Amino acid sequence: MRSGIFLVVLLIFAPGMQENSLTIGSGQQIDPTVPLWIELPTTITRCFFFCLGNGPPTCPAGVAGTASCASSSAEKHSPAASSTKGARAPYLFRRHNGEADAESCCLGPEVTVFHSSAADSFHGRRGAISYDSSDQTALYIRMLANSEIEVSVSARNIRRLLSFQRYLRSSRFFRGITVPNSSNILDDDYNGQAKCMLEKVGNWNFDIFLFDRLTNGNSLVSLTFHLFNFHGLIEHFQLDTMKLRRFLVMVQEDYHSQNPYHNAVHAADVTQAMHCYLKEPKLSKSLTPWDVLLSLIAAVTHDLDHPGVNQPFLIKTNHYLATLYKNTSVLENHHWRSAVGLLRESGLFAHMSLENRQLMESQIGALILATDISQQNEYLSVFRTHLDRGDLCLEDASHRHFILQMALKCADICNPCRTWELSKQWSEKVTEEFFHQGDIEKKYHLGVSPLCDRQSETVANIQIGFMTYLVEPLFAEWARFSNTRLSQTMLGHLGLNKASWKGMQREQSSSGDDTDPAFEEMDSDILPQENRLS
């Protein structure tokens, strides 16, 4: 009320304020000959953009307070101040570092400053600064009269300014909350088809690509939420369904959709495969709800924030992740730490004891680390030894955990064991991701990694080698363990798919080789014992 009365008084007496002009900012005066209702919006707009830049965390309300805020911000973040050594670079928000830091938005040494020219000097000013939120390339300056204005703003601040709405969606408070809009609304037929597919989620022929289309790109969230319900985990662990959905949305967001292969659809596919393995008779009668919970979370997050390149690429480019994890299971450690960060941020298990949460985080880590393909031989050797001795006891928690590690390894590379229609799509996607890495390596003269040169490799060559040296030995041992119809079905698909690739290879190549020579250059330590090359 007071501010309203004050505004009315100013509007009434503005024309007569010839000698006592209002001072704002850094000593600039509002021209009393210009009606205040023209100057005031401009002043507030200018102050708003100062605060939206890198102003103080809090700005007092009101005209005087806002003007003061703009003044202090301009002084604090002057060009001289912004050039101070050691000043923190501005950023919108930090992601993919295990712990979200969204609240640090808009705090940095730079500030968006709009300089008026000498000719302008607030005399005859008839406009305000505005922008089109849908335009990501420029700021639009709308002037209501002919006045010159110079805009000095860094590209980073423009990006930050125009990304403010995106920041709100990605901040600690808003992350994981989906805002309904027309593009997210599916018609009844699509909803019905998606629900119908979920009823057959335990079928090995489940088409994750179709399901992703039916759910409008939300296959990971929809499928995993359904599986939590299916296994009774929500009721058993008294989970907040809103927190669960928020966690799953955050996980889905943190997969890079631009990756041809390592994206949220791959995570959903692995989760569906893991569900099929959990239903195997030998496992289902021994697993506890805790085991199932860990398995599904590990499957959902096993490739979280994957950059689309492999570990050797990160090592030879001196990536900070390679340094952080000392060149050992670099990506897997990052996936695990990222998963832990989202679990903590979502508060999904905040009602559990600290001891149980720490146990959960460590066991999820052990499951995710098992997916490191460079450790294939070690895990397979232990698995084979247990099967030879017949000493696996699923009543033992440590033995169950090891079997879940092997199950997740199988789920992670099960694409060649799917039907040809699905397997071929996955093969083309992973090969395209390999080739994209090779293109980057060529561009920067890094030396093209094995299997990544699109000029010398083919999908058929890569897949035949992958099946021969990695997939077949693993699934042969898994079939020894489970000895079910599903395990035989997977081996059957694997054989048929390999034959199909060999047929394509014969058409594409005159050499007649059944395997890709690039596999012969791989470190023999990653290959099963009987398949090591001399």
Q: Are residues 49 and 153 in the same domain?
A: yes
**Binding site annotation covers 275?**
no
Within a domain: residue 195?
A: no
**Binding site annotation covers 302?**
yes
Q: Are residues 363 and 452 in the same domain?
A: no
Within a domain: residue 498?
A: yes
Q: Residue 29: its pLDDT value, please?
A: 46
Within a domain: residue 191?
A: no
Q: Residue 281: its pLDDT value, please?
A: 95
**Binding site annotation covers 412?**
yes
Q: Residue 511: its pLDDT value, please?
A: 58
Q: 492 burial class (0-12, 13-18, 19+ CB within 10 angstroms)?
A: exposed
Out of 111, 145, 169, pick the residue that ends a domain. 169
Q: Residue 360: its pLDDT value, please?
A: 99
Q: Are residues 474 and 326 in the same domain?
A: no
**Binding site annotation covers 382?**
no
Catalytic residue from among 231, 262, 386, 493: 262
Q: Residue 327: its pLDDT value, please?
A: 97
Q: Are residues 62 and 90 in the same domain?
A: yes
Q: Are residues 405 and 432 in the same domain?
A: no
Q: How far apart are CA 73 and CA 112, in angstroms?
A: 10
Q: Residue 251: its pLDDT value, please?
A: 98
Out of 412, 440, 458, pick the residue that ends a domain. 412
Q: How far apart are CA 304 and CA 335, in angstroms?
A: 5
Q: Where are the alpha helices (DSSP H) in 53-163?
A: 63-76, 79-82, 155-162
Within a domain: residue 290?
A: yes
**Binding site annotation covers 303?**
yes
**Binding site annotation covers 471?**
no
Q: Residue 279: its pLDDT value, please?
A: 98
Structural domain for 429, as ranges: 416-534
Out of 344, 379, 412, pick the residue that ends a domain. 412
Q: 504 burial class (0-12, 13-18, 19+ CB within 10 angstroms)?
A: middle
Q: Are residues 389 and 426 in the same domain?
A: no
Residues in the chain predicted with pLDDT less than 70, given as ranges, are 1-190, 509-534
**Binding site annotation covers 375?**
no
Tally of domains within the chain: 3
Q: Are residues 377 and 428 in the same domain?
A: no
Within a domain: residue 183?
A: no
Q: Are residues 334 and 463 in the same domain?
A: no
CB atoms within 10 A of CB 496: 14
Q: Are residues 320 and 242 in the same domain?
A: yes
DSSP codes of every residue in 240-280: -HHHHHHHHHHHHHHS-TTSSSSSHHHHHHHHHHHHHHHTS
- CATH number at 323 reads 1.10.1300.10
CB atoms within 10 A of CB 80: 7
Q: Are residues 248 and 162 in the same domain?
A: no
262 is catalytic: yes
Q: Are residues 342 and 432 in the same domain?
A: no
Q: Show the tokens assigned to 349.
A: 């298990």
Within a domain: residue 256?
A: yes
Q: Residue 4: its pLDDT value, please?
A: 55
Q: Give the bridge partners for 151, in sequence order.
A: 114
